[in-house]
Amino acid sequence: MKTGIFICHCGHNIKHTIDVKKLSQYFKKYPGVTVAEDYPFVCSEPGQDMIRDSIEKQGLDRVLIASCTPSLHGELFKDLLKKSDLNPFLLRRVSIREHCSWVGDDLDINTEKARRLILAGLYSAAHYVPLEEKVVEVTKSALIVGGGVSGLSAAAFLSKMGMQVYLVEKEAELGGHVRALKDIWPARRDGKEIIDEMVEELTGKSNVEIFTSTTISAFEGFFGNYEVTLNTPKGEKKLTAGGVIVAAGFSPFDPRIKPELAYGKDKRIITTLDFERDSDSLSLPENPRIAILHCVGSRDEQIGKPYCSRVCCINALRVGDSIKEKYKDSYVESFYMDVRAHPRGGEEFFEDTQEKGVLFTRSNIAEIVPGSKGVLVRGEDTLFNEFFEREFDLVVLSIGMSPPVDNKLIATLFKITLDKDKFFLEAHIKLRPFDTAVKGIFIAGSCSGPKDIEESINHGRASAVKLYGFLNLGYAFVDPFISIVDPKRCSGCRMCEQACVAKAIKYDETKRIVHVEEAACMGCGLCNSTCPSSAVTLKGYADMIIDDEISALTEAI
């Protein structure tokens, strides 16, 4: 066995709390280890060259890279091995950054832990065998869940590139929340116009199918060939999609959760969304007194919404601005915590509204009490530490964004995860912001966190580009981590057959043993741990691999 160990300094990230020199010296003397090197950045060009050189000159047959976590740069190092004519499944990554140097501060303790982790990698890699990645054909079609701005922009891009697009919207009309908006800042355009323009791009295209009032009832298969069952008004429909973009949007925060705001009890207390939809029919006196509340349903730990919704400040400013435009002598007071006028030009717009005469009071609002003459707003001025009570003709609540109502359902359907605020979680916040943990399923728009319209459109297009890049190849590699059955050991007890969730294990009546259908196997390894005769083995996670890893970690070798 000729193993090469490459230990990354990751600049100061690893070197700071792990004695990498000591480790490489230690492993140089280890039996079976041909090369043990430490290097500032193994992922850099010269770092990669060093590994390639070692593989070629020393004839390495196992490569162990101790650096960041396996999900980062995993493909990069796999490609590196492929280029050096070494099977990419003879690579072992050991995470000594996320699992060691960043979780402890003591140099000696961390070095010892890293040594153990590398040892475990070394012992398990000894059992690695070359595996073949299977190539499967992929269907060049995309399922887009949600017909809001991000879903529509994703669909427009994919249809332009000639890909089959299935757009599914649960409402009867496309457009999501944007359709209801009358005057979108800063373009000052009707939301319906924008939606109509986007829908027009899609109508009449032969490669676009739009399903409205439709839900997804089942979702099966794997990357490239997902089997989708739709529940349309005309009945059930089955289709095959290569990939999915989830653009489920958001739900407006319901202020009824906070009863002290008295929303829904009096028609003089409205939300910014109500105001946008229907600002003309408000029966206001000649010189109205209007209160605007910021951060309703955002930055509120008590109701479990600690995040900033980004769009509500600008919505609140828009309300103040439009009232000032209509009623010159109105009294408009904005109650805020901080003003985070988020998109470009927001700060200038904030100054404009101040100049137009909107009064800004930093405060905590305790309660809103509708009375016969007006609505009473009680609160504390947090700049002067004073309590106040003021009467208004209208109270506008600037509501934030909540995750879509059916987020749990969608997450379970596509097997993607939710973050702590119950929005959809991206695979990596910086390196893979559009991907989910499931290959071929992307997220777009405000279902992955509050976003304004511009950002949602960008997010939708970006996800579409990523998906296009995946599907346009026409083929994909499937991880070879599937189970195999040793026919000599199989006793035909059929326990694995009962356990297999994917129904990939089939019993052969004549031979009285089982076999695995490769295409159906998901690679969970349940059969492997169920089999009483150790006849089933999950490639890449064989019993002896994990056994030796345990031994190395407990140092009982």
Partner 1 sequence: MVEVTNTKNTEIIGFACSFCTFKASEMAGSLRMKYPDGVKLIQVPCSSRVDPAFVIKAIFEGADGVFVAGCHPGDCHFIKGNYFTRRKMAALKEMFDVFSIKDKLRLFWVSAAEARRFVEKVTGMHNEIKEKKNAE
Which chain residues interact with partner 1 by CB under 8 A? 69-71, 95, 97-100, 102-106, 109-110, 112-113, 116-117, 120, 411-412, 415, 417-420, 425, 437-438, 481, 499, 501-502, 522-526, 528-530, 538, 541, 543, 546-547, 549-551, 553-556
Tally of CA atoms within 13 A in the half-sphere of 393 that contains its CB: 13
Residue among 74 and 186 whose Cβ is closer to partner 1: 74
Residue among 97 and 289 whose Cβ is closer to partner 1: 97
CB of 401 to partner 1, least distance (A): 18
Nearest C-alpha neighbor of 42 from the set 6, 79, 82: 6
Nearest C-alpha neighbor of 214 from the set 157, 144, 149: 144
Residue among 418 and 484 whose Cβ is closer to partner 1: 418
- Distance CA(355)–CA(464), nearest Å, equals 42
Residue among 104 and 370 whose Cβ is closer to partner 1: 104
CB of 325 to partner 1, least distance (A): 43
- Spell out the residues 6+ positions from residue 152 whose beta carbon is closer than 8 angstroms to its own: 167, 174, 175, 195, 198, 199, 202, 460
Residue among 42 and 323 whose Cβ is closer to partner 1: 42
Contact 445, 146 (CB under 8 A): yes
How crowded is residue 345: how many other Cβ atoms within 10 Å of its Cβ? 12
Nearest C-alpha neighbor of 504 from the set 494, 489, 485, 519: 519
**What per-residue string of b and e applies to 288-312 under the rule 16 or more CB within 10 Å gives b?**
bbbbbbbbbbbbbeeeebebbbbbb
- Spell out the residues 6+ positions from residue 508 whose beta carbon is closer than 8 angstroms to its own: 514, 515
Nearest C-alpha neighbor of 145 from the set 533, 524, 445: 445
Tally of CA atoms within 13 A in the half-sphere of 218 that contains its CB: 9
- Distance CA(173)–CA(155), nearest Å, equals 16
CB of 146 to partner 1, least distance (A): 21
**What per-residue string of b and e applies to 408-417 under the rule 16 or more CB within 10 Å gives b?**
eebbebbebe
The residues pairing with 65 across neighbouring beta strands, listed in sequence order, are 6, 93
Residue among 142 and 441 whose Cβ is closer to partner 1: 441
CB of 370 to partner 1, least distance (A): 40
Residue among 186 and 433 whose Cβ is closer to partner 1: 433
CB of 26 to partner 1, least distance (A): 18
CB of 355 to partner 1, least distance (A): 42
Residue among 172 and 501 whose Cβ is closer to partner 1: 501
Place of tokens 């964004």: 401
CB of 106 to partner 1, least distance (A): 8
Q: Beta strands of 274-314 (E only): which ranges?
A: 289-296
- Distance CA(156)–CA(132), nearest Å, equals 37
- Distance CA(218)–CA(1), nearest Å, equals 48
- Distance CA(502)–CA(514), nearest Å, equals 15
Residue among 400 and 523 whose Cβ is closer to partner 1: 523
Rounded to 5°, angle at Cα 94 from 441 and 68: 65
CB of 48 to partner 1, least distance (A): 23
CB of 500 to partner 1, least distance (A): 10
CB of 92 to partner 1, least distance (A): 11
Residue among 394 and 502 whose Cβ is closer to partner 1: 502
DSSP calls for 144-199: EE--SHHHHHHHHHHHHTT-EEEEE-SSSSSSTTGGG-SSBTTTTB-HHHHHHHHH
Residue among 31 and 532 whose Cβ is closer to partner 1: 532
Residue among 344 and 420 whose Cβ is closer to partner 1: 420
Place of tokens 């002290």: 260
CB of 430 to partner 1, least distance (A): 10
The residues pairing with 330 across neighbouring beta strands, listed in sequence order, are none
Residue among 256 and 489 whose Cβ is closer to partner 1: 489
**What per-residue string of b and e applies to 480-495 under the rule 16 or more CB within 10 Å gives b?**
ebbbbbeeeebeeeeb
CB of 324 to partner 1, least distance (A): 42
- Distance CA(394)–CA(282), nearest Å, equals 9
- Distance CA(473)–CA(127), nearest Å, equals 33
CB of 531 to partner 1, least distance (A): 9
Q: Which two three-digit tokens encode residue 410?
A: 């969608």
Residue among 68 and 444 whose Cβ is closer to partner 1: 68
CB of 63 to partner 1, least distance (A): 18
